Chains A and B, each alone.
Chain A
Amino acid sequence: MSLPHPVLASFGGAIEFIFTPQTSNVTGGNKVGGFDKSLELVLKHLEVTVIALAIALIVALPLGLYLGHRGKGELFAVGIGNAGRAIPELAVIALVAVLIGVGLQTVAPALAILGIAPILVNTYVGVRQVDPAAVEAARGMGMSELDIMRKVELPLAVPTVMGGVRAAAIVIIATATIAPLAGVETLGDFIINRNVYGENGLLAGAILVALLALTIEGLLALLQNRLTSDGLKLKTV
């Protein structure tokens, strides 16, 4: 354990690095970092995350809804969920870089694969947990199966579904940090290219990634609160 003073100094250096370009002690005189560079990397990180999360949602949400509605494929959904957790993120990025190629168009789908598992399994479980009486009532009112899925099962499953979306967002943001290995300059660039940005950059990257993850997570929690019907909130208290 070091004394608190050098620790504070490291963090101070990192925060300075985020806002004003620093003369790198590694690359001999070049200015690195600064607000413009930080902002650029934050935006790139966000872009990759949003695209990957959107792809994961487009694939996993309808599939989970359908399987849950029909009550089929439980082994498939739960199996995907379990296997998805076991996939090492580092290997996914590395394989994509080696086999398919670098760039946003290969990295975003690869990150989406990591997000599909939690969304799929949570949507499936959420729909299965919907009270069958509510579904029967909707059917009795003459709703089509598609309407039942959209207007009854999905709204009632919102808290569980959003749990899956938040888990997917966390794993995608985390993995986007190592995306520079596959040629996408996210905030991980500060961390992975240590020989360009130095120790301050390393810590600055870590601070920005952590803040970004917490912000997105907070926004998704707010969204979940907005999407959940008031009736459901009363029940869960």
Chain B
Amino acid sequence: MASPFLIAAGGQVGEGFFHERTSGTLPCQAKSSHLFCWDWAKENIDRYGTPTLQHLEIVVLSVLIGFVVAFALALVAHRRRRLQPPLLAATGVLYTIPSIAFFFLLLPVTGFGRDTAIIVLSAYTLQIIYRNTILGLANVPESVKDAARGMGFTNRQILWRVELPLAIPEVIAGLRVAVVSTIAIATLVVFISAGGLGTQIYGSGNLTFPTTIIIAMVIVMGMALLFDTILLLVQRLTTPWRKVRPV
């Protein structure tokens, strides 16, 4: 699968940008009980550039693909109501299978690497986005649709110009949940050699050195907060008339 933006393809990003590395072991690195080694963090922060971009790339592609598929499914199911229960069940199964098991179930078919990661993570987002889109469309008051019909709108116009704009808060609430969970779960793609920030948590020997785990965790949670805030702002700007929180 060719990526539309190959940000992580050009090799190391930000390498050697901050400091020259000391060759020996730093004093605080030697003590394994030490919670956080600032000296190491200052010298090695550049190691996190490439994994962060890989992580971002996997998350953005997965959520985009998940969104397109789930949104299309929701539109189809909105027209043909009897498709709703089977689609909910099918996306529910994909959501329930733990990502790490899903990676290895696909391994004989798609192999190690980024493609498998993106397939699994986008499958995981389907249920969240699908359910919220259906909910948003169902919440549109009948009277509003009647009014639109009275003004001579066709069904297609009602969908795109009345129902979908009114469903935006629920759709974005779903997207927020999907993005935040995907950012956290994408640390697991290290198990199928797809890179990302998980490499800084479960890399060679990392399980004895808390500093690198903490840095990676802070970057992951910061990324989640950033995306959550951006999506919240988008929702506020596109639908000034109401507020909805994700449930």
Contact = CB atoms under 8 A, between A and B. Distances in A.
Real binding pair:
yes
Contacts of B104: 191, 202-203, 205-206
Given A85-B180, A210-B105, A95 B221 contact: no
Contacts of A85: 177, 180-181, 184, 224
B207 to A, nearest CB: 6
A78 interface: yes
B247 interface: yes
A95 B218 CA distance: 13
Contacts of B197: 88
Contacts of B80: none
B107 interface: yes
Interface stretch (B94-102, B142-150, B235-243): B94-102
A213 B190 CA distance: 22
Given A11-B108, A86-B221, A90-B190, A174 B214 contact: no
Contacts of B110: 1
B12 interface: no
Interface residues on A, range: 35 or more
Task: Name the prevailing secondary structure of the A interface residues.
Answer: helix
A191 B210 contact: no
A134 interface: no
Interface stretch (A2-10, A24-32, A34-42, A142-150): A2-10
A225 interface: no
B108 A90 contact: no
A94 B202 contact: yes
Contacts of B167: none
Contacts of B221: 83, 86-88
Nearest to B92: A217
A85 B183 CA distance: 9
Contacts of A125: 247
Interface residues of B, number: 50
Contacts of A89: 184-185, 187-188
A90 B191 CA distance: 11
Contacts of A94: 201-202, 206-207, 213
Contacts of B30: none
A125 B188 CA distance: 30
Given A91-B201, A94-B202, A203-B108, A86 B180 contact: yes
A191 B220 contact: no
B169 interface: no
Contact of B100 (A95, A98, A160, A177): A177
Given A85-B180, A205-B101, A206-B104, A1 B109 contact: yes
B176 to A, nearest CB: 8
Nearest to B216: A91
Contact of B98 (A10, A78, A88, A170): A170
A175 to B, nearest CB: 8
A65 interface: no
Contacts of B57: none
A213 B96 contact: yes
B217 A88 contact: yes
A173 interface: yes
A210 B99 CA distance: 9
B35 interface: yes
B213 A95 contact: yes
B198 interface: yes
B209 interface: yes
Contacts of A121: 247
A99 interface: yes
A82 B232 CA distance: 13
19 contacts: A1-B109, A1-B110, A10-B108, A86-B225, A88-B185, A88-B197, A88-B216, A88-B221, A89-B188, A90-B198, A95-B217, A98-B208, A98-B213, A203-B105, A206-B101, A207-B101, A209-B101, A210-B98, A213-B96
Given A86-B184, A95-B213, 6 more contacts: A11-B108, A88-B201, A88-B220, A94-B202, A191-B191, A214-B96
A-B pairs with the 4 shortest C-beta distances?
A: A174-B98, A206-B104, A86-B224, A209-B101
Interface of B: 32, 35, 92-93, 95-105, 107-110, 177, 180-181, 183-185, 187-188, 190-191, 197-198, 201-202, 206-210, 213-214, 216-217, 220-221, 224-225, 228, 245-247
Interface of A: 1-2, 6-7, 10-11, 78, 82-83, 85-91, 94-95, 97-99, 121-122, 125, 160, 170, 173-174, 177-178, 181, 188, 191-192, 202-203, 205-207, 209-210, 213-214, 217
